[in-house]
Amino acid sequence: MVSSNIDKLGALIVAMVAYAASSPFATLRSNRIVQGEGFGIPSALPAWMAGLLLTVIALASLVALLRREAIPRLVSAAAVMVALFAFIGEAAAFLTPADNTYARVAPATGFWLLLFTFALLAADGISRMRPGPVMRLLYLVTAMAIIAAILLSGLWADLSVMKEYAVRADVFWSEASRHLVLALGSLAAAVAVGVPLGIVCERVPATRAAVLNTLNIVQTIPSIALFGILIAPLGWVAAHVPGAYALGIRGIGATPAFVALFLYSLLPMVANTVAGLAGVPRESREAARGIGMTSAQRLLRVEFPLALPVILTGIRIVLVQNIGLATIAALIGGGGFGTFVFQGLGQTATDLVLLGALPTVGLAFVSAVVLDALIDMNSISPARKDA
């Protein structure tokens, strides 16, 4: 076989697989806070499962190395990821000593590295197919359905993260909804304020520098400092404005978290609205006016639709940023997934940190894919002939 037949990414994948396969696949700890002992694939699983998993991994690596077609790459990557998901659950059941409720089994370096490697291969396969926005959403829904099915099947019940979840099931969902309210609510407020503000900045150039510079300064304030700054004014509002306390406004808690997320969101929203409107072709504006559109009609029918992809990009930035930042809200009692992260850090319980971190990462990933698809659906092909 000629060397040019070997795929470069495939070579990287084989190297990563070789390293990952020799790393521990799962960790067993006698309780949730002590150091654990690593187990490689052969010792973490019953012999036939270990053999099956290693075979699937080896076959998929060969495909990555020798086949350039998108579909075999995607299918083999998906097969490995499903096998990894299934067998990490089996490893947890296999390694946990019988009748021991203190022991914890968690995925270890080898598992995460393999997952990352084949996620890379899957992403490569998908990007080679150049799927349209609808197709990408279908892939996303499929992946989410597989993970949901595994979660519901109880396959992961013996994993340490799920044991942390099991004792906090109620709190988990209330913190999840709090997290979403913080991230989405502050986004909605930022859109409601930022887009009109962006329109004003675009129409009245004098306001632009002042608004954008102010928002730039807000953006540079560290989040913890911003919480601190907000305590006094919000506390005053709660104490002196009639009805504010009844609305739940406090110096600490969810209110300052919401306000901080909102303030951080304003810069990307305003800046992208201004950039989007500034990118509207001069001839289109000129024609819209010359043809007899009123100022409002020009904004709604021509300028805003043409600026929409850039504005949506701003919304995407804000949403992903807010989902991540909302974890910080837990520091001042604002709730959200950050609650588990900071509790876990306090207890040196990594599994509890993961219970907060994994859903946050997942949520951010899902929103990024969904909004990218939306942006694509609203864009016009850039190939524009002007001659």
Partner 1 sequence: MIEIDGITKIYDGKSVVDDVTLTIEPHTVAVIVGTSGSGKTTLLRMVNRLVEPDAGMIRLDGEDNRTIPGYELRRRIGYAIQGHGLFPHRTVAENIATVPRLIGWDKEKTAAKVRELLTLFQLDADLFGPRYPHELSGGEQQRVGVARALAAEPNVLLMDEPFGALDPIIRAKAQDDLLAIQKHFGTTIILVTHDMNEAFHLADKIAVMDAGRLLQFGPPDELVRQPATGFVEAMVGASERPFRLLSMRRVSDLAEPGSADGSPIAATVTQQDALAELMWTGRSAAPVVSSDGEARGRVTLEALLQRARGPK
Q: Is 289 in the site for partner 1 (CB under 8 A)?
A: yes
- Residue nearer to partner 1 on the CB measure, 105 or 374: 374
Residue from the set 213, 284, 347, 348 that interacts with partner 1 by CB under 8 A:
284
- Tell the smallest beta-carbon distance from residue 275 to partner 1 (Å): 17
- Tell the smallest beta-carbon distance from residue 386 to partner 1 (Å): 7
- Tell the smallest beta-carbon distance from residue 130 to partner 1 (Å): 19
- DSSP labels for 129-146? H---HHHHHHHHHHHHHH
**Nearest-angstrom CA–CA distance, 231 and 227:** 6
Q: Is 376 in the site for partner 1 (CB under 8 A)?
A: no
Could you say which residues in the range 242-281 bind partner 1, by CB under 8 A?
Answer: 281
38 forms beta bridges with: 27
Q: Is 288 in the site for partner 1 (CB under 8 A)?
A: yes
- Residue nearer to partner 1 on the CB measure, 196 or 305: 305
Number of amino acids touching partner 1 (CB under 8 A): 23
Q: Segment near partner 1 (CB under 8 A), from 127-135, 221-229, 237-245, 377-385?
A: 377-385
- Residue nearer to partner 1 on the CB measure, 37 or 286: 286
- Tell the smallest beta-carbon distance from residue 72 to partner 1 (Å): 35
- Tell the smallest beta-carbon distance from residue 206 to partner 1 (Å): 19
Rounded (10°) angle between helices 338-347 and 169-203: 120
**Nearest-angstrom CA–CA distance, 331 and 333:** 6
- Tell the smallest beta-carbon distance from residue 296 to partner 1 (Å): 10
- Residue nearer to partner 1 on the CB measure, 307 or 341: 307
- Residue nearer to partner 1 on the CB measure, 277 or 323: 277
- Tell the smallest beta-carbon distance from residue 188 to partner 1 (Å): 25
* Residue 178 neighbours by CB under 8 Å, 6+ apart: 254, 334, 335, 336
Residue from the set 286, 300, 347, 362 that interacts with partner 1 by CB under 8 A:
286
Q: Are 159 and 92 in contact (CB under 8 A)?
A: yes
Residue from the set 209, 217, 283, 345 that interacts with partner 1 by CB under 8 A:
283
Q: Segment near partner 1 (CB under 8 A), from 10-18, 63-71, 193-201, 282-290?
A: 282-290
Structure tokens at 327: 């974890």
- DSSP labels for 73-100? HHHHHHHHHHHHHHHHHHHHHHHSPTT-
Could you say which residues in the range 296-355 bind partner 1, by CB under 8 A?
Answer: 297, 302, 305-306
- Side-chain-facing half-sphere of 159: CA atoms under 13 Å: 26
Burial of 31-60, coded b for 16+ CB within 10 Å and e otherwise, reads ebeeebeebbbeebbeeebbeebbebbeeb
- Could you give phi then psi for residue 27, rounded to 5 degrees? -115, 135
Tell me which long-range contacts 354-363 makes (C-beta under 8 A, separation of at least 24): 354/106, 354/161, 354/164, 355/161, 355/164, 355/165, 355/168, 355/172, 356/327, 357/327, 358/161, 359/176, 359/179, 360/179, 360/323, 360/324, 360/326, 360/327, 363/179, 363/180, 363/183, 363/323
- Residue nearer to partner 1 on the CB measure, 305 or 333: 305
- Residue nearer to partner 1 on the CB measure, 270 or 302: 302
- Residue nearer to partner 1 on the CB measure, 73 or 298: 298
Tell me which residues touch partner 1 (CB under 8 A): 281, 283-284, 286-294, 297, 302, 305-306, 380-381, 383-387
